[in-house]
Structure 1
Amino acid sequence: MPPRKDKKKARRTSSAIQESASEKPWPFAAGYDNCPEVLESTPLTVKGTIPLWLEGVLYRSGPGTYDLETESGKKVHIQHWFDGLTQLHRYEIKKGGKVSYRSRNTSNDLRERYQKAEAVTGVTFCHRDPCKTIFNKFFTTFKTATLGGPPIGGTNTNVAVIPTPNFPGLMDREDRSLEEKSATGGKRKTGLRNLVMNTDGNVLQEIDPVTLEPIRLFTYGDIDDSLSASNLAPAHPCVDPETGEHFTVLLTFGPTAVYKVVRTRASPKGTHHEPDLDVLAEIHSPRPTYMHSFAMTKRYVVVTHWQCDFAAWGVSVLWYGNAWESFKAQDPNIKATFYVVDRDRGRHVATFECDPYYAFHTINAYDEDDDIYVDLAAYKDHTVIGDYYIDNLRNEASGKSPQQAVLRRYKLGKISKHAALSALSPKTPPKPAPAEVVFQLDESINFELPSINPSRYLKSYQYAYGVNRSGVNKTLIYDRIIKVDLHKVAKGDQKSSAKFWIQDQCTPSEPVFVPTPNATKEDDGVLLSIVLDGRSRTGFMLILNAQTMEEIARAEMPKGKIAPHNFHGMFIPN
């Protein structure tokens, strides 16, 4: 947009203003530009000193393409941040403090489909087609319902949300890339056996951990036929770091929505055998809900059933062709629900209710005595999803800042009492009890894209890290990395509970905590974040001291290379 005119600039011609605007584009819009692939490992320029113990690979995932051009020259615009075509990023921190980078697009078949059709086709998360007629909607619904959707193959879908290591039952690939074998001397340097990408559907994508090449797509139905009809699964699985068990919640649409709490674990016969898969519980509800994540403790799975409900039993997704338009408006009279499932007994043992809210992300959950505590980043309602349309986020002059989340803790009390009562009538769902709000951060200390020390996962903990919007910079999304001392918040001290990192005209991504080896303090470690530098229209990998929130080092991208705003990351240490 042209700069705002003042009296001294009133005489400048419109062409001069446009020239000035092109010289200094809005620094925060670069995060929504197309990001070219960097297929070969490329060294980055390191400033500062990377700790000697910090070696491994940071994976980042998210959208990388929003605008396509067809052979005929027609422009195809992907409307929403969540629908951008997937790109994966790999930052390798090597011995001696050297860093290299590469990236790859992993939905090229979908890209080609859009280009060939000269439009965004198929069911998306938020893409709206104003030219669809009622007849076309009906025909698409009828065709999909009677004949089934197009087969998923190759890279014909977006699986962009979060990378997950060591999915049970995926064998170590004997045809690992020559580059990996050469880099490791034929031996594996990390505990990474395989790498799988997750999204908000019953589909996963196996990825080569080094080259980032897509290997195959598969579903939970490929593991167990009874799950073939399931429609959705939270993009964030829960993984027990001690047992290696993977948990998810599969939703099947219908007049009564069915949520299946599923545990997948390696076969006792070894990694060359199909995994063991158990359905721990089936929960029936009149509300089919979009859930991006859920929670787990050492003893329980907690299905966080907030409000973001599909209309018409989920068939509305086929009618509109996207999830966003198919969501019902929030109903203040419908409670949000927590379903508690016993991991060992495989039984729905308790249900809790609270006032309606919406969330993308749970932060952590843990057992303490006979209670469960669940921390999450809560929104007033799911209309926040509509704030992330690309045209809004690119709009310097009148773009709307998305609704902000607050960190909130819920207490689900006296679980054994509820479990005993539910055991008396095993065929009847447990009677709901009230969930207690223990505390929440003030709205001015907004909090999203959470991270904690992985050693504290499923345990009581003190520190949570995330991103925050300060309101200082003219950006529509977050511009700070935040550290929250939950012990201080629990005592009522919100003022000194948060520390921040911020740099002018920079947009950080979700921070990933990497603990110092043999650390005795929970916050002894570093935070890794990929930062868009709007001033130079490039980016860098930021390394922060997690205790002080001060910069230790950064690895700068080559000039002209930008890692766009992405969703989530994961660090695999050597």
Structure 2
Amino acid sequence: MEINATSSTNHFNDWPNDAGFEIFHEEREPVELTVSGHIPSYISGTLYRTGPGGHQVKTNKGTTFAIDHWFDGFSQNHRFQIIQTGSSARVVYNSRRSIDPLIENIRLTGNMDGFSFGQKRDPCTSFFKKVMSVFVPDPRPQEHHNIGVTLSINPPGLGNPQTTENKKGGGHASGIYTLLAKTDVAVMRHINPETLEPRGMVSQKALHPELTGTLSAAHAKSDPVTGDVFNYNLALGRSPVYRVFRVSAATGQTEVLATVTDAPGAYLHSSLITENYFILCVWSGHYAWGGLKILWEKNMLDAISPFDPNQKALWYVIDRKQGKGIVAKYECDPFFCFHTINAWEEPSPTDPLHTDIVADLSVYKNLDVLKRFYYNNIKSSSHASLNYTGDNRRSCDVFLRRWRLSSVDTASPLESREAVTVHTAKHDRSCELPVINPRFLTKPSRYIYGACDRDLSTFFDGLVKYDMETQTAAYFSVHGHSPGEAIFVPNPNGTTEDDGVLLSVVLDGFTEKSYLLVLDAKTMKEVGRANMDCVVGFGFHGVYQSQAVEGPSTDV
């Protein structure tokens, strides 16, 4: 059954979403928001959000410098503290930019130096004076690094020393003593968890001397039981090298679990874990010249090779408990992906004595979506947005897809098996920025939530709940309201997978003000909200920490 909380058939040009890109608030001191409806009593904690806070700077030369691509917007962090007082809730909000030195340098010079995701710059041939097998680090000062795609709370190994005072809440009332902002490189920025003031930088190389690569996934993966964190480190060059590693939550020590040397270097924003395995899927998005083209283009997007329909996606299954390294390899038809969703192990339906891996991802047919996210293509007031209407938009459609990796316990890393597609959801029932109930990570899961794009807007036009079992969808959609990523907060007394709420920051395009939405995850109906008097720019990801932490902090 299809359910619409509010539906609209208006053409996307009537959808006023540009405020989420154009209006830029530099900083907000803590202010209490106006709460309406009901915020359940178990939602007491802190929600952080990160992403672009603006993309234009007026320079001292009388010109306006503009960022080209959404992924390069000037990072800004947001904090919503939800405080339960008796039978009611209070929400306190504050925000802060994290790259004022970069913005000031642009203001003075009229230019932006260093590497980026998609900013157009003139190639600099002097880079090719470097040895071709070495990837040159970003030459900018650390305070100019634009880092703000994902956030991690209290990560092992890379956090501040976990002293007794810190664990009692020395950094925050709920025990948040370390907050890290991350992107798809191997360096991260410390953020003050209360004031959001940017602090120093930290590199993956500090975890282990072999993690010398410059790239990694913005989304690390955490064991939901132990809190151990898993990711890859990618060293580009003639022969790219992926090093898959684990950071122990118990000891803070890092171990390299496997090295992958037979896969092309690629833009891999996320990965997968199951109870016993880490899965590195190398999908389309391969860097040209072993990644060295980044030195020429000075951005990652233009360094990615064109989509090749004949080059298979590769799946590497890596043992994460017994030190066996790569235990299996699979391949399938090519696709592109930003976000994996969940994976788990289950008895094979053809032979219950063996174990299969089931994996859910949000996928694209090719790489066209990367260029869709140039600001000119997603702002409804831009003429270029007309290039992504009707049939022209179909190449950028996202699909929820489930794969099965058969009999992983009998596979061999020396030969590839087929990763079999089990189900692909229709585009209008699929989503980006997908999330599930975090209690079901590495376990069989049924419901996927995310931001949907049903051609009602040039951007996300609602939130969807997709049922993988019945293959049906339910929506929250209000005309002119553009939602960001939803965060699932489970009901501690819940008995079903969809028992909880979704938290999403939504822009009301008509009033040009945002609000924190509290949505019933079962019915997809609004139960409450906290209204703001400003715009929160369309960002990327967030993380929620309950006041009553149930288990280890997780990385996402």
TM-score range, shorter chain: 0.7 to 0.9
Deviation, structure 1 residue 204: 1.0
Tell me whether 1:538 sits opposite 2:513 in the alignment: yes
Does the 8 Å contact 1:411/1:438 carry over to 2? yes
Superposition pairs for residues 311-460 of structure 1, below 5 Å?
311-346=288-323, 347-369=325-347, 370-396=355-381, 397-399=383-385, 400-401=387-388, 403-418=396-411, 422=412, 429-460=413-444
Higher relative contact order (CA 8 A, sep 6+): 2
Deviation, structure 1 residue 192: 2.8
Does the 8 Å contact 1:512/1:527 carry over to 2? yes
Does the 8 Å contact 2:499/2:522 carry over to 1? yes
For 2:65 and 2:131, how far apart are their aligned partners in 1? 24
Does the 8 Å contact 1:293/1:362 carry over to 2? yes
Deviation, structure 1 residue 173: 7.3
Deviation, structure 1 residue 81: 0.1
For 1:151 and 1:240, how far apart are their aligned partners in 2? 35
**Aligned residue in 1 for 2:536:** 563
- Of 355-364 and 387-396, deviating more is 387-396
For 2:313 and 2:207, how far apart are their aligned partners in 1? 31
- Percent identity, aligned pairs only? 34
Cα gap change, 1:483 to 1:287, in 2 (>3 Å): same
Deviation, structure 1 residue 150: 5.3
For 1:281 and 1:362, how far apart are their aligned partners in 2? 20
Matched residue of 1:254: which SS? coil
Does the 8 Å contact 1:404/1:447 carry over to 2? no
Matched residue of 1:32: which SS? helix
Tell me whether 1:227 sits opposite 2:205 in the alignment: no
- Counterpart residue type for residue 315 of structure 1: L
For 1:53 and 1:320, how far apart are their aligned partners in 2? 49
Deviation, structure 1 residue 499: 0.2
**Among residues 24, 46, 51, which one is paired with 1:57 in the alignment?**
46
Does the 8 Å contact 1:39/1:211 carry over to 2? no
For 2:50 and 2:521, how far apart are their aligned partners in 1? 22
Matched residue of 1:325: which SS? helix
Matched residue of 1:392: which SS? helix
Cα gap change, 1:278 to 1:174, in 2 (>3 Å): closer
Tell me whether 1:525 sits opposite 2:500 in the alignment: yes
**Aligned residue in 1 for 2:196:** 212
Deviation, structure 1 residue 171: 3.1
Structure 1 unmatched runs, 5+: 1-23, 269-274, 423-428, 490-496
For 2:146 and 2:262, how far apart are their aligned partners in 1? 28
1:501-543: CA deviation from partner (whole Å, max 9, x where unpaired) = 0111010011111011221111111110000110101110000
Does the 8 Å contact 2:263/2:282 carry over to 1? no
Tell me whether 1:488 sits opposite 2:470 in the alignment: yes
Cα gap change, 1:395 to 1:154, in 2 (>3 Å): same
For 1:363 and 1:80, how far apart are their aligned partners in 2? 25
**Among residues 219, 233, 240, which one is paired with 1:257 in the alignment?**
240
Does the 8 Å contact 2:436/2:447 carry over to 1? yes
Superposition pairs for residues 250-289 of structure 1, below 5 Å?
250-266=233-249, 268=251, 275-289=252-266
- Of 29-38 and 298-307, deviating more is 29-38
For 1:546 and 1:26, how far apart are their aligned partners in 2? 25
Does the 8 Å contact 2:435/2:486 carry over to 1? yes
- Counterpart residue type for residue 260 of structure 1: R
For 2:141 and 2:226, how far apart are their aligned partners in 1? 32
Superposition pairs for residues 22-61 of structure 1, below 5 Å?
27-61=16-50
Cα gap change, 1:248 to 1:150, in 2 (>3 Å): closer
- Counterpart residue type for residue 274 of structure 2: T
For 1:411 and 1:148, how far apart are their aligned partners in 2? 39
Q: Aligned pairs, how many?
A: 514
Does the 8 Å contact 1:454/1:513 carry over to 2? yes
RMSD: 2.3
TM-score, length-scaled by structure 1: 0.85
- Counterpart residue type for residue 72 of structure 1: K
Does the 8 Å contact 1:106/1:214 carry over to 2? yes
Tell me whether 1:91 sits opposite 2:73 in the alignment: no
Matched residue of 2:469: which SS? helix
1:179-199: CA deviation from partner (whole Å, max 9, x where unpaired) = x99xx7x69643433211111
1:383-423: CA deviation from partner (whole Å, max 9, x where unpaired) = 211001112222434504461210000100101111xxx4x
- Counterpart residue type for residue 482 of structure 1: V
- Of 70-79 and 539-548, deviating more is 70-79
- Counterpart residue type for residue 573 of structure 1: S
Cα gap change, 1:549 to 1:312, in 2 (>3 Å): same
Deviation, structure 1 residue 34: 4.1
Matched residue of 2:470: which SS? helix
1:48-85: CA deviation from partner (whole Å, max 9, x where unpaired) = 12112211111111011200012232211111100001
Kindly name which structure, 1 or 2, has the bigger radius of gyration based on alpha carbons.
Answer: 1
Cα gap change, 1:520 to 1:297, in 2 (>3 Å): same
Deviation, structure 1 residue 341: 0.2
Does the 8 Å contact 1:152/1:217 carry over to 2? no
**Aligned residue in 1 for 2:56:** 67
**Aligned residue in 1 for 2:148:** 160
Does the 8 Å contact 2:208/2:255 carry over to 1? no
For 1:141 and 1:112, how far apart are their aligned partners in 2? 30
- Of 544-553 and 33-42, deviating more is 33-42
- Counterpart residue type for residue 95 of structure 1: Q
For 1:553 and 1:308, how far apart are their aligned partners in 2? 40
For 1:74 and 1:175, how far apart are their aligned partners in 2? 52
For 2:171 and 2:470, how far apart are their aligned partners in 1? 46
- Counterpart residue type for residue 77 of structure 2: L
Cα gap change, 1:518 to 1:153, in 2 (>3 Å): farther
**Aligned residue in 2 for 1:9:** none
Deviation, structure 1 residue 149: 4.1
- Counterpart residue type for residue 171 of structure 1: N
For 2:429 and 2:409, how far apart are their aligned partners in 1? 35
**Aligned residue in 1 for 2:112:** 120
**Among residues 97, 115, 124, which one is paired with 1:137 in the alignment?**
124
Does the 8 Å contact 2:15/2:479 carry over to 1? no
Cα gap change, 1:417 to 1:173, in 2 (>3 Å): closer
Deviation, structure 1 residue 478: 1.3
1:175-227: CA deviation from partner (whole Å, max 9, x where unpaired) = 999xx99xx7x696434332111110011111111111112111111222221
For 2:536 and 2:271, how far apart are their aligned partners in 1? 28
- Of 55-64 and 258-267, deviating more is 258-267
For 2:493 and 2:188, how far apart are their aligned partners in 1? 34
Does the 8 Å contact 1:251/1:288 carry over to 2? yes
- Counterpart residue type for residue 129 of structure 2: F
For 2:62 and 2:421, how far apart are their aligned partners in 1? 55
Does the 8 Å contact 2:187/2:204 carry over to 1? yes
Matched residue of 2:143: which SS? coil
For 1:120 and 1:257, how far apart are their aligned partners in 2? 28
Cα gap change, 1:147 to 1:436, in 2 (>3 Å): closer
- Counterpart residue type for residue 233 of structure 1: S
**Aligned residue in 2 for 1:244:** 227
- Counterpart residue type for residue 565 of structure 1: F
- Counterpart residue type for residue 165 of structure 1: I
**Aligned residue in 1 for 2:181:** 197
Does the 8 Å contact 1:109/1:154 carry over to 2? no
